[in-house]
Amino acid sequence: MAHRLASWRGRGPLRPAELAEAAVLADVSVALIAIGWLLPITSIFIVAAAAPMAAIAARNRPRAVLAGAIAGTTVAMLIAGTGLASNVVGCAVIGTLLGVAWRRRWGPVRMMSVAVGVLWPPAALGAVLVLTLFSQLRSLALVQITNTWDGIKANLGSLGLSSLGRPVDPVVHWLVEHWAIGVPVALLVGIVASTIAGRILAWPPLARLERTRLAAPSTRDPVPGDTSTSAPGPVPVQLVGVGHTYPGMATPALRGVSLTVEPGQFVAVVGPNGSGKSTLARILGGRTPTSGAVHRPGATALGRPGGTALIFQRPESQVLGVRVRDDLVWGMARGPSVDVDVDALLARVGLTGFANRETSTLSGGELQRLAVASALARRPSLLISDESTAMVDAEGRQLLVDLLAALAAEEGLAVVHVTHRLEEAKRADRILFLERGELLATPPAPGPFPAPETQPARPPTPAAGQTIELSGVGHVYTVRSPWAHRALTDVDLTVGAGEAVMVVGHNGSGKSTLAWILAGLLIPSEGQAWLGGQPLDRRLGQVALSFQHARLQLLRSTVRGDVRAAGGVDAAAADSALELVGLDPRELGTRSVDQLSGGQQRRVAMAGMLARRPSVIILDEPFAGLDDGARRGLIAVLRRLRREVGLTIILVSHDTDGADQLVDRVVTLDHGRIVADGPVAQLAGRGSEGTP
């Protein structure tokens, strides 16, 4: 039983995982109750709504149930007022009882005794007191009871069971008339019935949750005694013959890697997509390898002060707070020893003045800088940066790489930076070259980034070309709120059929907002956006948008299955689309999308878009996370698509390397305004973000 009670003993504020689980499961309860309200014959859903609350109580501390109850009650109040909210409170109470009973393995007699002896008396006394003090509420409650019974009688009649309701009808009316007795009696019956039904409905899913938890593979540090209270000691860390193979994969992601990272070292890890860089970063951060050994003096202490901080490739997976200020200290214990100078830390990563901004209004690059600041707020001894500069403009990359170097040289942190950019790696004390999961002694010739080959293919019939026109377009996020943020102002833009245009600008300049408007997925606050003379938001499907993170668009388990689902086409058309983007369907068609490199995932996402035969494709930060070879291959594919298929291509990026081989025009955004629109020759002599 000790493992079941462990989470009850936790001290300190709720962890992010506890808050997230409580909020999500509470919303499930609200949804089930709402279904029961809307469809009376399915009122069993109201009883079932106690099961999610029971899961919160069984898996987390009591305060997590309270947090979930508050979140669910607030949502219910906003949706349908006090009636729905009171049901949520009731489900939270019953759910807590069920969760405690499951955790402590109570039998049905003990659980029922607690329900009747502990829950019912205060509930009955409180209900009578409230109804006595508030006459209008009493009248409403009694009418609701009468109407509910009338509805039950009607349902019984429709089932031919009217005889069952006749003897009960006078009893219900007597209890309503003598409500001071009737309400406690009704509560007693309700609590007993809900407890019995809740046990029947909640026990099976709780059992499945526990089996899943016990069967889950461990990703903890292999160091003995590395618990939540072990002393942090992530460095020096030594890897001896480390290998790692992911479940279901025949090829290892890492093979025989041996290295040591000392305090105060700045280590860069480079290599092509799929070489094992991210796997190495996660093992350094505490994941257990499938072979070899990892030695360190203490606990990995991931996320704890003095431990390990890991910055992921996708910043949106790390940003949890509503405001920047809140996110920076999310999940940290309070106290003088962990006080954070929010403004100074944000200034250090180039986010001066962002403390009160809503995180939903930040660009991808700004989110990445915030993730770096949040990692530094933990004052780690080991900082692992997995492509933390991929979404950042040239100025921001320089700032962050300078910061990483200073953290190692001046503050003694061990810093491991995974990157595709050799100019960043040259700042490091050591450069580790990975290829096919192996650590190379010297860089491979002619360079660590071989270019993938592309294959000619028969293109599908393209849609007729149409012109995109934006007139006076502006957009404000969370308009008419204290957190209103203007992303675009007075944008006039025309993109002709078959053109290839690049939109550039610093992080936060409005590029991604413009991309979503051009795709018809976001209606601008001001102005008009048209495709072929019709509003863009009514032409969904004619403009295809590739997200910054291609993996978010891959919704099926296999490559061919994802292209078929995305394009709504058969297997032959899906294979044709894969060939069009330079992928061999015979080799990759049945492969899991999680076994693909970043460049391959981006191409599969493009194949799914092209299978629908759009007239325009928009690629939002298509080069983020791609090595040099994958970048060249993608540019070659896009050139061929434009030449053979006649697509209009809009490239939204801060990274302009090689773009002059693809686009004709460059549109420059600055603070949400177009400040330049001219031929691609204007890129010459500019930074890689394409701005002066």
pLDDT in tens, 542-571: 888 887 777 778 888 899 999 998 888 899
Residue 652 has pLDDT above 80, yes or no: yes
Beta-strand pair 648-652/616-620: parallel
Residue 217 has pLDDT above 60, yes or no: no
Return the minimum-mean-pLDDT range out of 123-127, 207-211, 302-306: 207-211
Q: Return the pLDDT at 194.
A: 79
Residue 417 has pLDDT above 60, yes or no: yes
Nearest to 349 by CA among 392, 304, 285: 392
- Average pLDDT of the segment spanning 458-482: 72
Q: Return the pLDDT at 509.
A: 86
With cut-offs at 50, 70 and 90, classify the pLDDT of residue 3: very low
Q: Return the pLDDT at 636.
A: 83
| Residue carrying the six token digits 């600055």 | 670
Beta-strand pair 673-679/665-670: antiparallel
Task: Round to whole Å and give the CA distance between 205 and 193.
Answer: 19
Q: Return the pLDDT at 528.
A: 92
Q: Return the pLDDT at 512.
A: 85
- Taking the CA atoms of residue 150, residue 151, residue 157 and residue 158 in that order, the dihedral angle to the nearest 10 degrees is 160
Sheet holding 616-620, edge to edge: 543-546, 616-620, 648-652, 500-504, 665-670, 673-679
Instruction: Report yes or no: 374 and 330 within 8 Å, Cβ to Cβ.
Output: yes
Number of H helices, E strands in the chain: 24, 19
Task: Round to whole Å and give the CA distance between 104 and 58.
Answer: 9
Q: Return the pLDDT at 221.
A: 40
Q: Return the pLDDT at 482.
A: 72
pLDDT 10s digits, 181-194: 888 888 888 788 87
Nearest to 603 by CA among 626, 584, 586, 583: 583
Looking at residue 301, its amino acid is A
Adjacent-strand bridge partners of 266: 415
With cut-offs at 50, 70 and 90, classify the pLDDT of residue 625: low
Looking at residue 605, its amino acid is A
Residue 304 has pLDDT above 80, yes or no: yes
Q: Return the pLDDT at 243.
A: 93
Task: Round to whole Å and give the CA distance between 36 and 32.
Answer: 6
Residue 291's H or E segment, with its range, is strand 291-295
Residue 2 has pLDDT above 80, yes or no: no
Same fold, 255-289+298-329+338-440 and 468-683: yes
> What tokens were used for 221?
């540090």
Q: Return the pLDDT at 475.
A: 92
Q: Return the pLDDT at 38.
A: 64
What's the start-to-end Cα distance of the chain, in Å? 64
Residue 263 has pLDDT above 90, yes or no: yes
Three-class DSSP category at 136: helix
Please give the C-alpha separations between residue 85 and each of 35, 76, 325, in angstroms, as whole numbers.
14, 5, 31
Average pLDDT, the chain: 79
Burial of 410 per CB tally in 10 Å (0-12, 13-18, 19+): exposed
Residue 230 has pLDDT above 80, yes or no: no
Instruction: Report yes or no: 233 and 298 within 8 Å, Cβ to Cβ.
Output: yes
Q: Return the pLDDT at 563.
A: 92
Angle at 613 between CA 611 and CA 619, to 5 degrees: 85
| Residue carrying the six token digits 């009973």 | 101
| Residue carrying the six token digits 């490559």 | 559
Please give the C-alpha separations between residue 191 and each of 85, 121, 368, 379, 521, in angstroms, as whole numbers.
17, 11, 49, 50, 47
Residue 23's H or E segment, with its range, is helix 16-38
Backbone angles phi, psi at 35, to 5 degrees: -60, -45
- Average pLDDT of the segment spanning 624-631: 70
247 preceded by a cis bond (ω within 30 of 0): no
Query: Under 8 Å CB-to-CB from 489, ≥6 apart: which residues?
Result: 474, 671, 672, 673
Q: Return the pLDDT at 371.
A: 85
Helix residue ranges per DSSP H, 81-119: 82-104, 108-114
Return the minimum-mean-pLDDT range out of 208-217, 269-278, 576-585: 208-217
Q: Return the pLDDT at 336.
A: 44
Q: Return the pLDDT at 234.
A: 92
- Superfamily for 468-683? P-loop containing nucleotide triphosphate hydrolases (3.40.50.300)
Q: Return the pLDDT at 490.
A: 93
| Residue carrying the six token digits 């294979």 | 575
With cut-offs at 50, 70 and 90, classify the pLDDT of residue 489: very high
Q: Return the pLDDT at 462.
A: 43
Neighbours of 560 (CB within 10 A): 20
Q: Return the pLDDT at 262.
A: 93
- Superfamily for 255-289+298-329+338-440? P-loop containing nucleotide triphosphate hydrolases (3.40.50.300)
Residue 145's H or E segment, with its range, is helix 135-158
Q: Return the pLDDT at 265.
A: 93
- Taking the CA atoms of residue 385, residue 390, residue 392 and residue 398 in that order, the dihedral angle to the nearest 10 degrees is 60
Nearest to 50 by CA among 220, 215, 190, 227: 190
Query: What is the three-state SS of 311-331?
Result: ECCCHHHCCCCCEHHHHHCCC
Residue 21 has pLDDT above 70, yes or no: yes
Adjacent-strand bridge partners of 486: 476
With cut-offs at 50, 70 and 90, classify the pLDDT of residue 37: low
Looking at residue 522, its amino acid is L
| Residue carrying the six token digits 């991931």 | 302
Return the minimum-mean-pLDDT range out of 170-174, 257-261, 304-308, 641-645: 641-645
Instruction: Report yes or no: 176 and 182 within 8 Å, Cβ to Cβ.
Output: yes
pLDDT over 90, % of the chain: 13
- Average pLDDT of the segment spanning 106-135: 84
446 preceded by a cis bond (ω within 30 of 0): yes
Instruction: Report yes or no: 38 and 58 within 8 Å, Cβ to Cβ.
Output: no
| Residue carrying the six token digits 């299955």 | 561
| Catalytic residue ranges | 387
User: Could you tell me the maximum CA-CA distance found in the chain, to the nearest angstrom?
Assistant: 92
Q: Return the pLDDT at 227.
A: 47
SS3 content of the chain, % helix, strand, coil (to 5): 50, 15, 35
With cut-offs at 50, 70 and 90, classify the pLDDT of residue 337: very low
Rg of the Cα atoms in the chain = 30
With cut-offs at 50, 70 and 90, classify the pLDDT of residue 163: confident
Task: Round to whole Å and give the CA distance between 431 and 418.
Answer: 10
Looking at residue 312, its amino acid is F
Task: Round to whole Å and give the CA distance between 210 and 55.
Answer: 10
Return the minimum-mean-pLDDT range out of 412-416, 503-507, 679-683: 679-683
Ranges of each domain in the chain: 2-215, 255-289+298-329+338-440, 468-683
Q: Return the pLDDT at 443.
A: 66
Instruction: Report yes or no: 361 and 478 within 8 Å, Cβ to Cβ.
Output: yes
